[in-house]
Structure 1
Amino acid sequence: MGLLFLIVTILEAKIVTFDTPLPYTEVIARLDEAVNKQGSADILIKLRGAKSREEIEQVIDAITGVANDFLYFMDLKHHPWLNTYTQTTNTPATVLYTIGNPLIAQGILRHDLRAALHIPPRLLILEKVDRTGTNVIYQLPSSVMIFPDNESQELREAVEGLDRKFEALARNITGLENVDG
């Protein structure tokens, strides 16, 4: 029997929070439009059925179009089950979106497959407890997709490009696209 090893790698995850006075429902509506939620409904089935690079690109291009960098994969609403569990009705709306783009992902994964731990990336949309706005929260991709033993320039450029796209998306859906941060 071969030797077994346990390797622990320390990453310093950076959490980005966009704080907006926009109501949760407006942020969600903006996000759904930005990731073409309606048009992305069966993206995973279509991608599984693709037999070539060209077919994958056609599926993605048909959904993203010119304006959208990301596709919708799924969301998980935490507040409904928390309300049921705690027997309340006032848990702030809390939904985790899984979004991404296989064309962006392949540009990262070809440099380090371990980045797949965080691909596709996620956004947490969190209604403020006092209902005065919404927080959009995500892990900065470059802080969790670049491992200390592989800091290649190509990987760094690909992941930092994703950082910029995520920031642009967050600014767009929070109404902060013209605010310096």
Structure 2
Amino acid sequence: MQDQSTLIHLEYLSGRTFDEVVTAFEDATGVVTNDQFRDAVAASAGNADDFIKRMHAFEGPSGFMRFLDIDHSAWMKALAIRGRARLYILGNPLIAATMVRYDLGAALNVPVRALILEDPATDRTRLIYDLPSSLMERLRNDDVHAAALKLDEKLAALAELATGAQP
């Protein structure tokens, strides 16, 4: 099967430096390693209340946690590519559950990806991501779409906090 949907791509052009945007973004998000996540799932032993409590412990003020950070800048520099870029995989299983409970296919696009980059031509910093509700649109599920719209709002609030800008 193959289908098509329209993707909405957002970019926040910031007046802040790359380091300022990265710091604000990271300060607003919690961190959970793969081992910590796996241990929390195992320790909750299928108890929903315990799992919820453990997930809240990993959240940052934004309600998101970072699962993975990839600093592209390190390898870019080695290959003489100018600029800086950092990719984040972030989300929250409690938010993901609001979509996945209606269609397991929603799990393809949660957690979400966000990229912070510094354009070497302009020295301007951008925060970029694909709008979650547009990624979920192809599922054609009203409940998933309603939950994804709430995720859109949370992600926009984080992007605006980190960049001080609107898309």
- Which letter does structure 1 place at the counterpart of 2:154? K
Contact 2:13 2:126 in 1 (8 A): yes
Q: 2:158 corresponds to which residue?
A: 169
**Is structure 2 residue 88 aligned with structure 1 residue 93?**
no
1:155 alignment partner AA: V
The residue correspondences of 1:29-178 to structure 2 (distance < 5 A) are: 29-37=23-31, 40-41=32-33, 43-49=36-42, 50-51=44-45, 52-64=47-59, 67-84=61-78, 86=79, 88=80, 91-130=82-121, 132-147=123-138, 150-152=140-142, 154-176=143-165
User: Which has more helix, going by share of residues?
Assistant: 2
Larger Rg: 1
Please tell me whether the aligned partners of residues 136 and 145 of structure 2 are also in contact (alpha carbons under 8 angstroms). no
Equivalent-residue separation in structure 1 for 2:54 and 2:39 (angstroms): 7
- Structure-2 residue corresponding to 1:3: none
What does the per-residue CA deviation read over 1:117-170, in whole Å, with 9 as the maximum and x for residues that have no partner?
Answer: 11110101111213533100000001111225x232x22210000011110010
The residue aligned with 1:4 is none
Looking at structure 1, the residues matched to 62 and 129 of structure 2 have their Cα atoms a distance apart, in angstroms, of 18
CA gap of 1:161–1:147, structure 2 versus 1, over 3 A, is: same
Alignment-mate amino acid for residue 39 of structure 2: K
What is the one-letter code of the residue matched to 2:17? P
Structure 2: where are the runs of 5+ without partners?
none
Checking the alignment, whether the CA contact within 8 Å between 2:88 and 2:113 is kept in structure 1 is: yes
C-alpha distance in structure 2 between counterparts of 1:69 and 1:53, whole Å: 18
RMSD: 1.8
Cα shift at 1:30: 0.6
Q: What amino acid is the match of 2:37?
A: L
- Partner secondary structure for residue 146 of structure 1: helix
- What TM-score do you get using the length of structure 1 for normalisation? 0.82
For 2:39 and 2:164, the matched residues in 1 are separated by: 32
The Cα of 1:72 is off from its aligned counterpart by 1.1
**Structure 1 stretches of 4+ moved >4 Å:** none
Aligned pair count? 164
Is the Cα contact below 8 Å between 2:109 and 2:136 reproduced in 1?
Answer: yes
**Same amino acid, percent of matched pairs:** 29
Distance 2:48 2:120 in 1: 45
TM-score normalised over the length of structure 2: 0.89
Does structure 2 conserve the Cα–Cα contact (< 8 Å) formed by 1:23 and 1:131?
no
